[in-house]
Structure 1
Amino acid sequence: MGTSLVNKNIYEKIQKSKSLIYGLVSKHNSKIHQRMDDKNKFLHQVLYTLIFTNCILSLILVTIQAALAGYQPPKDQKPPSGYSDSSGVRGTCSASSSPILLAPMTYVGLTTSTHPTFAWFVVDNQSVPIEFSLYEFDTNLKPKKLDRYTQTFLNSSGLIQRSLSKDLPGLSVGKRYLWQLQSLCDPYRPSHNLITRAEIEVVALPQTLFHDLAITNESSYKANLYGKYGIWYDAIKEVLPSNSKQKLNKVFIDLLASLAKSEQSVERQNLTNIAFNYGE
């Protein structure tokens, strides 16, 4: 990624808009000054400067966000191991109750967080226990289960998210992991459990991204920045809804739609359906 995400075209658009705003405000400002004494002229000039500065900052933010919208897969994509293939027989579980992972499946997704957030979507609400588990790959790409992160909870419809507890040790930068959801359809026939998996790698925060993030506290802008750097898990975390029934906002939908383009047919269709049917 270059030294800045604000490219020449964006800069030129900002400059043109800035000149337009300046011209309009200056014209209005000169008319008001004709009817003011010196003290009021000074106070008005200060207010005018603040308003003009705020307009330019808002314009810059809106322009950059428009240019950054969506998610761009990392250029150095790593293929998943054979362990991330989903498996299982439907058994007593309905197909629509199977979790749809909101994550890259055809390559390893990235995060800069040592306590990342995982998200998935369930179309139908069937009261089936779900087990979340996490595995760490060794240097030979053999997974080892990390029991301390295992959680079990009842399935529910809508968008679900789980973050690793801050009370537990964090993941290691440079390490690859596999996260798994297992629908416990039949306790007496584990082979009938539905299993979905994806892989995630913890990477260091790029220095240029660090500087870009420092200029704003707005979640949607941060999400688009992470998305442009191919850091999927951090991007969606910024715009995840506060509850499972809340409509998905436009930035979230744009991220999903962008991710869908890089996925295989089934995952692509699932992500596209979520973006189309559950957005604002």
Structure 2
Amino acid sequence: MNHQVALVLTQRIVTRLAASLVLGLWLVPVLSLAQDSDTAPASGRSSGGRGCGTNTLSVASDVPALILLTPGQQAGKTISTRPTFAWFVRDAASLPIEFRLYEQDNDRFKLVKEIKDDRLRSVPGIMLMSAGGALPELTIGKRYRWQVELVCNPSRPSSNLFAEAVIEVVPLQAGLKTQLAQTRDRVNQAKLYAQANLWYDVLKTAFTPPSSATQLHALRQSLLNSVAIDATECKLLQDSSIHAIQR
């Protein structure tokens, strides 16, 4: 990504964050994470608008076929050792999906879990995977890279689409622990997570059922707005159905 494109995207993000602040969602801290100084993670998007050659939804073809719900090119943080991973699938065809989790070891990432079976298939909209029995418990202080691969043709792996991002598990600070213990309201909890730059904890709170309350719905919409880079993506994400993956 060149400097001019990065500048345009930054300006769009700032505009959306200002709108969220006016709405009182208090998401600015989590959606404006500082860029890490070490190796930057992937952008969380499949390249270009290429799909798997299947029929797509009636949207512009330049919308990526696969978008991870992450804070872009910044490593999202969490205090949960069993976070929720979420991604958007553009196309309507049901295709095999492969999920991989890598743990950072010095300057490299080593594979710790791979999920690929007939039960994991794409569904158009937002797919959620909670780190329960199917995934190992993460370790506090560790960084992980997670990857979603859309299998277009099992005989031609080079045609597959994939996106990846980095998640970092950080310790729960004493002050935040005290504040969380003082409220059971999920919206207030999400605000506390946002103030602490805990992207994946805001995500988990926003999408964990039941999440039909008006304020939680607004929280979820604001989170999706921060992922989208233009109006087309924004509408597509906000209109998406939500599918929890049962493992």
Q: Considering only aligned residues, what root-mean-square deviation do their CA atoms show, in Å?
A: 3.3
Distance (Å, rounded) in 1 between the aligned partners of 2:207 and 2:127: 9
- Aligned residue among 255, 265, 272 for 2:223: 255
- Give the secondary structure class of the aligned counterpart of 1:235: helix
- Displacement of 1:273: 3.0
Question: Structure 1 unaligned runs (5+)?
Answer: 1-65, 261-266
| Bigger relative contact order (CA 8 A; separation at least 6) | 2
Larger radius of gyration: 1
Taking every aligned residue pair, what percent have the same amino acid on both sides? 33
Is 1:273 paired with 2:235? yes
Cα 1:82–1:254 change in 2 (3 A) is closer
- Aligned residue among 26, 37, 41 for 1:69: 26
* TM value normalised by structure 1: 0.62
Distance (Å, rounded) in 1 between the aligned partners of 2:220 and 2:172: 21
Partner deviation per Cα, 1:127-168 (whole Å, 9 max, x = no partner) = 11111110111112x111113x52440111222110112475
1:223·1:238 contact (CA, 8 Å) conserved in 2? yes
Work out the number of aligned pairs and report it.
205
1:101·1:121 contact (CA, 8 Å) conserved in 2? yes
- Displacement of 1:126: 1.2
Distance (Å, rounded) in 1 between the aligned partners of 2:219 and 2:46: 31
Is 1:118 paired with 2:89? no
Partner deviation per Cα, 1:92-116 (whole Å, 9 max, x = no partner) = 3566682321111211000111111
* Higher relative helix content: 1
* Higher relative strand content: 2
Distance (Å, rounded) in 1 between the aligned partners of 2:217 and 2:97: 26
1:27-38 alignment, distance < 5 Å: none
- Aligned residue among 176, 180, 188 for 2:143: 176
Distance (Å, rounded) in 1 between the aligned partners of 2:104 and 2:236: 31
Distance (Å, rounded) in 2 between the aligned partners of 1:136 and 1:120: 20
Partner deviation per Cα, 1:206-262 (whole Å, 9 max, x = no partner) = 22211221121111221121112110001111120549xx998111112333x34xx
1:143 equivalent in structure 2: 109
2:224·2:238 contact (CA, 8 Å) conserved in 1? no
Partner deviation per Cα, 1:33-86 (whole Å, 9 max, x = no partner) = xxxxxxxxxxxxxxxxxxxxxxxxxxxxxxxxx755224246553267466365
Report the AA paired with residue 118 of structure 1. Answer: F
2:7 equivalent in structure 1: none
Report the AA paired with residue 251 of structure 1. Answer: L
Is 1:217 paired with 2:184? yes
* TM value normalised by structure 2: 0.70
Report the AA paired with residue 36 of structure 2. Answer: K
Report the AA paired with residue 42 of structure 2. Answer: S
Distance (Å, rounded) in 1 between the aligned partners of 2:79 and 2:56: 33
- Displacement of 1:174: 1.2
Distance (Å, rounded) in 2 between the aligned partners of 1:80 and 1:109: 14
Report the AA paired with residue 92 of structure 1. Answer: G
